[in-house]
Chain A
Amino acid sequence: MSCGHVLWPDGVPSCIVNGQTVLSCEGPLALPNIRTIMSESSPVSRQRVRGVPVILLLVAFIIALPLFVLLAELLTPQVDFWQQIISTTLPRMIGNTLLLMGGVAALAGTLGIGLAWLVTMYAFPLRRIFERALLLPLAIPSFVMGFVFMATFDFAGPVQTFWRETFGRGAYFPDIRSGGGAIIVLSLVLYPYVYLLARAAFREQGARTIEAARVMGVSRIGAFFRVALPMARPNLAAGISLAMMEAMTDFGTVRFFNFHTLSEGIVRTWEGRMDRAAASELAALLLLFAILVISLERWLRRGASYSQTGGGAEFVIHRHKLAGWKKWLATGICSAVLGVAFILPVTQLVGWLFAEINETALGSWTTVYWQYVGNTAGLAGISAVVAVTAAVLMVFAARRFTSPWARRLVRLSTLGYAMPGAVVAAGVLLTLSPIDHAINDALGGNVGLILTGSLVGLVYAYTVRFMSVSYSSIESSAEKIKPSLEQAARLMGASSWRILLRIRLPLIINGLAAGLMLVFVDVMKELPATLLLRPFGMDTLAIWTYMLAAESFWQAAAVPALTIVAVGLIPVALLMRLGR
């Protein structure tokens, strides 16, 4: 999760998506794929430098390299492997992946748009609380939600047990361990992305646009479908495609629900068939898939420039007051969503946590616990620093250049948000392994796997995967630095380093903090790349949770899972504060 504008509630930041101004938005945006790339309409004038910035080129090269190495792998396919899976599992994996993405788009889209419309346009009891609280599910990693749902709603779980006790043994209950179950769980975790963007769009349109439509004789519902939705299209497309990409990249949830997708298939081929080469080729195929989705997203957001009557940060929305049963229905809908997507899983986890503490001697897991916490914090911290440092270099390099190349390089190096962790892991390993072996050959033997056997490979993978998160954080705050300030410093003879340290960094301190925090939390939740690349003994909280949950040790899994959720709540809480 990323929030490009989380730190800039003041002023009216423009969301510039893929170089086009979408909508100015009050409130924050949680979007790794919204890159606030310089546009002609940017109020900040800058030096126009032609040519290709060297630092940008270097960073982009390093970050994009694993993806290219992976694609090159397709040039020498393992014919046997492809023949076998094309006739057996591949069609199903592709079908399931499409089904999952489509299902999540529909369900998360409906939830996100519907709730955003409700809290923006209507007044009902507890509305102000729901407006913020509906973001809470963002703090729960999808695989945690997955195992809590599995334990709660499957045949042996408490809900179905109660169901049978009430309605008899033969009473129908849908099979949760299925594609449908995975779609529901992922949608409950991912709808806040859509909600956040839709809410920003609806607020921006404001009541005036809707009132204008109503004056023309359009009903409130009609105004929603004929005016509000079409006008919000770019934002909605951004939110929904983000949810789709998260669904495509998911590994843990689909594994728990026994729903075989491409992303899960990579891990299955890598570990189950013990065939790294074949897994890499499958990863390359999924990479092509991801590129297709990104293109689709861009197309959906085409011509994304709309202007509204009025607008601005102080714009007041006159909410329609719901009366009678309608207002309670609205409250009920919001409570139901929040209850199922946040209160239920957290309550269940807390219950398990206490049971675990009661049943086991604390001493047996506290040492292990702190070891995992240390591993996770160390890994996430290092990755956050690396990703943010790279982002700072890129942002300030990109600022000086207006050539289309600069923009392309930035796009290239922030592609990772659409890449499943397993794909990135395969690419990083293919890139680093030859270097490792070359080092060993050169030094004549046993120096060990310096890159792939250490944290380097894993941190590299995280950086590729979460570059867009740190980039958008830094970018949005760097936008605020007036070039005149830097020019003045330069005139007074300050060196580039001095300008960076004394002017730029202090001015973007908030962006730095946001970038660090967001990458930290994303790394903490990451599962597939960690699973495939972690060096000896570097098990993280996410890995620990996953392994215990996979063996149905729900109680024990609640300990690391709740830790992840608690840390994940920090950025969400900030998002909620700023969501006013």
Chain B
Amino acid sequence: MRKLFLAASAALGVVLLSGAAVMAQDTPQVVNVYSSRHYGAMEDAFVRFTEETGIEVRLSSGSAQSILERLRAEGSQTVADVYFTIDAGGLDLAASEGLLQPIESEILTEAIPADLRDPDNLWFAVSQRMRTIMYNPETVDPSELSTYAALADEEWAGRLCLRPGTHIYTISLIGSLIANLGAEEAERVVAGWVANQPQYIDSDTRILETIAAGGCDVGLTNHYYLARLLDTDPEFPVRAFWANQGEGETGVFRNVGGVGLTAAAINRDNAIRLIEWMATDGQAADLTGVPGGNYEFPTAVDAPVNEIIAGFGEFTIDPLPLTEYGELQIQAVELIERVGYGS
């Protein structure tokens, strides 16, 4: 018995030392990134950046809200150089709270169109994702589908799969409803969704798989989750429907992945180099990572679009300025709690 414990303690000691060794190592050229993307594939893109430039990318990931909250709490003391989030609201809030600093870079202003970056160059969108309607073609005819708001109609009772209200994807979509329909109408719509007793599933992939299995007929997810499933199984039985495309309607809801330089960035030059890379070489359609490798739409004007998502067809995008997302989000969270969405 005693031997066993001695062995256990010895093993623990070894583990402890190796842990300390891993933490103590240091490299000269680094850039620290707070990222709310944790798609695994993302890391490959950064690996490629490191190969090309010799700058090591250190990631700390969390949900979109948690990295913003962290950046805010740390303020001028933060170790993060780059703030990389998947939500325009977060970019907008970080910018308006003085957490980011402007980058004067011709590379960036030439690559990224004006509506996809902050007016003061505090942040730059590097990928675009559309949150839209997904349906099972066996049970739903696309002619039955139209807008996000129409999913509040009674005919969708018991047929919806939605993401819970804790997730930023839901929050920002509801924020856009508030902007487009007004607070009152938006609340009526969301209450209508709730009245239809949707299944709340906290994973876009699982929503699509549930639609495929017949667990629900219609769901709302980001477009690239379907592309990802189609890449592994071209016969995957779910179709994308671009929402709000009718006459006088606003267009499909867009959110962006974007990057900004933190106000307190220590590795400023490396950070700018990373951001410039993400806006240019990092936009390649073949690259594992942003945006093509993740089946997102690029933001750089001349960047190629991934083939699978090009197959989803033409669409118009809701022109709601990205700089309004932040304020809307706060209203959206309160609406979600008032209506009792997602629980």
Contact = CB atoms under 8 A, between A and B. Distances in A.
A446 interface: yes
A262 B233 CA distance: 40
B16 A536 contact: no
A89 interface: yes
B213 A161 contact: yes
Contacts of A256: 202
Contacts of B204: 552
A513 B40 contact: no
B111 interface: no
Interface stretch (A125-133, A134-142, A377-385): A377-385
A156 B213 contact: yes
Contacts of A169: 214
A258 B38 contact: no
Interface string B1-25: 1101110110010011011111100
19 contacts: A7-B5, A84-B334, A84-B337, A155-B210, A156-B213, A156-B215, A258-B164, A271-B62, A271-B69, A370-B22, A377-B16, A377-B19, A379-B19, A382-B16, A453-B74, A516-B12, A520-B12, A547-B61, A552-B209
A572 B42 CA distance: 37
7 tightest Cβ-Cβ pairs between the two chains A and B: A378-B19, A374-B22, A381-B16, A155-B215, A377-B19, A156-B209, A552-B203
A374 B333 contact: no
A550 interface: yes
Interface stretch (B76-84, B148-156, B247-255): B76-84
A446 B77 contact: yes
A273 B334 CA distance: 9
B72 A274 contact: yes
A272 interface: yes
Main secondary structure of the interface of B (DSSP, over half): helix
B200 A258 contact: yes
B19 A531 contact: no
Interface residues of B, number: 66
Which secondary structure characterizes the binding site on chain A? helix
A381 B69 contact: no
B178 interface: no
Nearest to A377: B19
A406 interface: no
Contacts of A384: 12
Interface string A361-375: 000110010110011
Most-contacted residue by chain A among B166, B199, B205, B210 (CB, 10 A): B166
Given A274-B65, A274-B68, A382-B16, A156 B6 contact: no
Contact of A272 (B40, B166, B203, B210): B166
Given A446-B77, A570-B8, A378 B210 contact: no
A397 interface: no
Contacts of B23: 374-375, 378
Nearest to A520: B12
A513 B69 contact: no
Interface in B234-249: none
Contacts of A448: 77, 79
Nearest to A511: B5
Interface residues of A, number: 73
A161 B171 CA distance: 31
B280 to A, nearest CB: 23
B8 A268 contact: no
Contacts of B79: 448, 453, 535-536
A403 B140 CA distance: 75
A88 B337 contact: yes
Given A536-B32, A536-B80, A378 B16 contact: yes
Given A510-B5, A536-B32, A550-B202, A89 B213 contact: no
A85 interface: yes
B69 A270 contact: yes
B308 interface: no
A276 B63 contact: no
B166 A268 contact: yes
A575 B283 CA distance: 54
A273 B66 CA distance: 9
Contacts of B164: 258
Given A84-B337, A155-B210, A379-B19, 12 more contacts: A161-B213, A177-B200, A258-B342, A271-B65, A365-B40, A374-B23, A378-B22, A382-B16, A453-B74, A510-B1, A512-B9, A513-B6
B44 A574 contact: no
A453 B72 CA distance: 13
B66 A271 contact: yes
Q: Which of A161, A382, A448, A570 has the most CB of B within 10 A?
A: A448
Nearest to B333: A273
Interface string A482-502: 000000000000000000000
A328 interface: no
A88 B343 CA distance: 11
B118 interface: no
A536 B60 contact: yes
B209 A378 contact: no
Given A177-B199, A536-B32, A274 B69 contact: yes
Nearest to A268: B166
B5 A513 contact: yes
A453 B77 contact: yes
Given A89-B337, A378-B23, A516 B342 contact: no
A428 to B, nearest CB: 13
* Max chain B Cβ within 10 angstroms of own Cβ: one of A272, A436, A534: A272
A297 interface: no
Contacts of B286: none
Contacts of B78: 453
A169 B44 CA distance: 41
B32, B204, B210, B340 interface centre (most CB from chain A within 10 Å): B210
A550 B166 CA distance: 12
Nearest to B171: A272
A177 B342 CA distance: 12
Interface in A259-274: 260, 268, 270-274
A537 interface: yes
A141 B314 CA distance: 46
A379 B20 CA distance: 9
A318 B314 CA distance: 78
B206 interface: yes
Contact of A517 (B1, B8, B19, B340): B8
Contacts of A385: 16
A177 B69 contact: no
Interface string B208-234: 011011110000000000000000000
Nearest to A509: B5
Contact of B43 (A88, A274, A368): A368
Contacts of B40: 365, 548, 553, 556
B275 to A, nearest CB: 18
A440 B343 contact: no
A424 B215 CA distance: 39
